[in-house]
Structure 1
């Protein structure tokens, strides 16, 4: 792991160099806790995953797992306690298609490759009490098995062919999807892999093995005829023959996990927003014997967008744990056998839950807006507790300010809230300039520590940062969804402005020096703001929607957005009401645009259109373009440039300082 030397470096340099904990795995006997960490490589130009061991008791410092190398990721344990992981480390075999393989690592640090799927393994899972594994790998069209797939890959490579014939969809976030499609394979030691079935293009990696290894569950993607509906398949692990299938029109299932006795499959079930209905997310139990589906959270109105369930490891005990957004936090919740739901944590955002073999203790990653992710230990039953912090790799050091909240009431009577980061020295006699930062989604929340659009580099430069959760944000009940449905640029925009007005009643904030910035849906709100008001001195739009009609036709989620906005050929009301490009003549505020050239979620043509309209209106503008980035910014030096460019743009237009072009641009 790269050693961090703070010295006189800017805060965003420290942030970029900070190791990033990403996932936890607990050994079956509860004695070993393995943490995956994204850290700078030796050249400092990309992040590479490493495996670290954390002391569950919190007494010893963390250590690199003996035998682990940069590039090892996705740790998990086999039933016998063997540490498993994915890695693209070389095996020494020639004429092999590149891609991550599944490896094991003994306590002595000796790595052994378990399996290599031609083109790479993207995900895997292990049975809790059997020597069985399942993994996700791709097959090219026309390939009946892995051997044929490998031969086709070699032929394409030798012919210099990278062409793809799309027949369902033309791309996916993070890059092109084709031509291969994910499949689930079940592996036994020294047994050829069984193809359990095609997972399709959505939900790759959504699979589970029953504890005894006899059943495998996976998801099949929506079809062109039903783009809002997927299918869960529960199949015989030895043969791949389906035992039961579950599908519900207008719903999709995610994150399957078997109960400890293997009798039920727990999944997230999601009903996406449509023109006439709001998002609905819950956890359900699927019974493969009876075909019955049970909603496990029928009366839970926090609208927490529950994450993957963690089931009790005790056979016969239906207790489970999950996380979900709530009022700017992401607590851990416990669901008891009688259906009672208890919030276990008082504050913070939790992820990557693990439970001990007796079901008494949880481990997790916890972050807040004033604390980067740390490994913590929790009592598995105690309500509203503060966790025990365990020693975690990396130390960002002190933050350049403090965190508080802003609350107000919208004009429709709904209570609103936002986080507010205050820089050091902000006071009535020295009020701070304010940056309003709008989150993506829109179904999401400012609840956990972000690496992209983190508020603290701005606080270090003297800006206060307001982080509002407007209509359509998660964690505020179903009413928050209802009041924003069909109003992409309406009620959410109004909520942001009302929270901004509430923040600016503070004497330590300067109402004459303000800016607004956003990413993804937040970028859309920045674009909408540009055509609604001139109250801000500067705006920043990162991967934002500008022309809703051209956007819905080009995004990788075109069917989803057409459900929300309507068919533009027959139902134009929402396009006409909420597409910022129709009001381009009202652009006056200086604007910085940021976009990645490989963005399939919000195609970069959206920002090019906006940039052309700003130039036509003779509005001061800049377009920070990253040809190789997708919907976010991932490369370390690109992230540095993002912060440097945005800070320089704000300093120039909000503070009146001279514009300084970043050295590498």
Structure 2
């Protein structure tokens, strides 16, 4: 049986590598690591310097009870980062201290100094790699002069009003009401002088999931700008280019029911790579990689025949290729795309496994560097030669996790079940021992996938330490297995083929000699929670159910979620106001009379994606029908459980419930 012990308390104490920056000489990387402050039970973040060849031990660059993160090197080797540290020594402790500003750690050493002083703080920044330019994303109150912004902040806090007024959807995003401040693109010289707002009139168009890039010479900024479509009341996201000297701008790409994103300037600054996706009632359109010639305006789609969703990460230094990451058979490897022909070369071998993101190529073009994680390995910086089917090496262990012990204690299998298509499942089990109870974890999305990646919120190793096997199925709607599998969840089919895929997977798992078919548990969050609820109304084959942030009543959910128009699109263009019966075809509430399985319901009260009313309605319905059920609410959490003590409580509550129901460790 598994000798490797891994508790949720150990999970929250691990260092969390979040972002990194490669030094201009390609020798070092600056890495942001979040760590638990045990006195306050909250996460702080420090910066570390590592060498890519492991020739030197890691060096801690910043310390203190601050959040220092998002490192970015300036062209002279000085290190910029975002921090909430006070702007002046001995300054009064007030709410301004929580605002992020750009700080600079000089390359010659010494203490960091602030570079910006934005009244509402900065959320992101970049230094030009070969120019005298700093660009930041900073919240601004539209229509109020910069010099009056700070007074506006103080007045609102002291006197109000707190009223918010809207004339169109959308009005909320994840866990917040869309307020009056709006992100703007602001540029400085690299020392923090010559401030210029490039988007002085921007209001709602830069809110939400805006992405952007700064050209190497610092003369241009590429941004995505959203505008509500009259066709489907969702945002059309256009691609714009701003001139940092003149403030002039032009549209590079804009189409109805289309979303551009992830712009990446070429090293020469003459081209821009970006992703482009379309949304239709009839299908979830594929996501493609495009290249725009900034001189001619010609746009070229790359690798159009590739049945995958390549996301641009970076360019090679010679400007001839784009490095993309892509979901592929429960992995996320890296490829090179020829910037002219679209011909692709796989950079990382499938045998290496894992999830690879944040990819950059060294200035000499010889090394690929990024963040890699696996089911048994938290995110760390990796390095690999730029070549075909390379196996990357981890170059740090800033998480302080014993990955070798974890690998030795577990088995990971790739399983396939055929329904109307092939359904992949990753089965993670304790090595050796008796027949094991099984947890079938259903992923959210539904356009998403489980993969060989570390997960902080749904970590199989915590369950394995309690003796469970964990199945991670990728049914209809999962990415990385071809467009047809994605389309299988579209057009009001949530409870259809996806359910059949999961039941076929459960059948295959139950037939294994190492799995106890009488002690199987279904559980999931968000769409995975919805599917868990749907299962409860269709079958009683599972010993118990665990449902987190889940949908219970489709019509009620549609009326209160933060993006109702997206739900209408996913369900084939129908709404409960025009076709209530059709909209509720796969609503779990409609099948509550069939429910028999003991159920644990968990929800964050600040969740605006799946509002708290769904959990309350489900609990009441199960109680009314005499179904054994428990409700657990986190008043200070949103769609995800993020606070350390709440993370511990969430895992322990779930493990206690399923342990009691399956008679494990009871």
Q: Distance in 1 between matches of 2:436 and 2:664?
A: 14
SS of the residue corresponding to residue 550 of structure 1 reads helix
SS of the residue corresponding to residue 222 of structure 1 reads strand
Q: Is the 8 A contact 2:229 2:257 kept in 1?
A: no
* Matching residue of 2:358: 352
* Matching residue of 2:368: 362
SS of the residue corresponding to residue 492 of structure 1 reads helix
Gaps of 5+ in 1: 1-6, 659-665
CA RMSD of aligned residues (A): 2.1
Q: Distance in 2 between matches of 1:417 and 1:72?
A: 39
Compare 115-124 and 69-78 and name the one that shifted more: 69-78
Call closer, same or farther: CA 1:406–1:362 in 2, change over 3 Å: closer
Q: Is the 8 A contact 1:596 1:630 kept in 2?
A: yes
Q: Is 1:388 matched with 2:384?
A: no
Q: Is the 8 A contact 2:4 2:409 kept in 1?
A: no
Equivalent position to 2:7, from 11, 15, 39 = 11
How many equivalent residue pairs?
641
Map residues 123-142 of structure 1 onto 2, 5 A cutoff. 123-142=124-143
CA deviation after TM superposition for structure 1 residue 320, in Å: 1.2
* Matching residue of 1:158: 158
Equivalent position to 2:636, from 628, 632, 650 = 628
SS of the residue corresponding to residue 229 of structure 1 reads strand
Q: Is the 8 A contact 2:46 2:62 kept in 1?
A: no
* Matching residue of 2:531: 525
Q: Is the 8 A contact 2:381 2:396 kept in 1?
A: yes
Compare 292-301 and 464-473 and name the one that shifted more: 292-301
SS of the residue corresponding to residue 479 of structure 1 reads helix
Equivalent position to 1:309, from 308, 313, 320 = 313
Equivalent position to 2:344, from 338, 341, 345 = 341
SS of the residue corresponding to residue 119 of structure 1 reads coil
Cα shift readout 1:270-304 (whole Å, capped 9, x = no counterpart): 224x4311241111122333333221231111x2x
Cα shift readout 1:229-273 (whole Å, capped 9, x = no counterpart): 11221111123211334211111111212111111221121224x
* Matching residue of 2:507: 501
Q: Distance in 1 between matches of 2:369 and 2:236?
A: 34
Using the size of structure 2 for normalisation, the TM-score is 0.92
* Matching residue of 1:102: 102
SS of the residue corresponding to residue 183 of structure 2 reads strand
CA deviation after TM superposition for structure 1 residue 308, in Å: 4.0
Gaps of 5+ in 2: none
Compare 153-162 and 29-38 and name the one that shifted more: 153-162
Q: Is the 8 A contact 2:522 2:532 kept in 1?
A: yes
Cα shift readout 1:8-60 (whole Å, capped 9, x = no counterpart): 98622111111111112101221220111111024251112211111111232
CA deviation after TM superposition for structure 1 residue 228, in Å: 3.6
Using the size of structure 1 for normalisation, the TM-score is 0.92
Map residues 214-363 of structure 1 onto 2, 5 A cutoff. 214-223=219-228, 225=230, 226-272=233-279, 274-301=280-307, 303=308, 305-314=309-318, 317-337=319-339, 338-345=341-348, 346=350, 347-363=353-369
Equivalent position to 1:38, from 25, 34, 38 = 34
Q: Distance in 2 between matches of 1:230 and 1:509?
A: 47
Map residues 370-381 of structure 1 onto 2, 5 A cutoff. 370-380=376-386
Q: Is the 8 A contact 1:203 1:254 kept in 2?
A: no
Cα shift readout 1:544-565 (whole Å, capped 9, x = no counterpart): 1111112122111212112122
Q: Is the 8 A contact 1:135 1:205 kept in 2?
A: no
Call closer, same or farther: CA 1:146–1:245 in 2, change over 3 Å: farther
Q: Is 1:591 matched with 2:599?
A: yes
Equivalent position to 1:436, from 434, 440, 450 = 440
Q: Distance in 1 between matches of 2:148 and 2:209?
A: 21
Call closer, same or farther: CA 1:623–1:368 in 2, change over 3 Å: same
Q: Is the 8 A contact 1:324 1:332 kept in 2?
A: yes
CA deviation after TM superposition for structure 1 residue 135, in Å: 0.8
Q: Distance in 2 between matches of 1:259 and 1:639?
A: 41
Equivalent position to 1:514, from 510, 520, 542 = 520
SS of the residue corresponding to residue 480 of structure 1 reads helix
SS of the residue corresponding to residue 197 of structure 2 reads strand
Compare 598-607 and 240-249 and name the one that shifted more: 240-249
Q: Is the 8 A contact 1:325 1:474 kept in 2?
A: yes
CA deviation after TM superposition for structure 1 residue 157, in Å: 1.4
Q: Is the 8 A contact 2:135 2:214 kept in 1?
A: yes
Q: Distance in 1 between matches of 2:312 and 2:227?
A: 20
SS of the residue corresponding to residue 615 of structure 1 reads helix
Q: Is the 8 A contact 2:66 2:84 kept in 1?
A: no
Call closer, same or farther: CA 1:371–1:455 in 2, change over 3 Å: same
CA deviation after TM superposition for structure 1 residue 358, in Å: 1.6
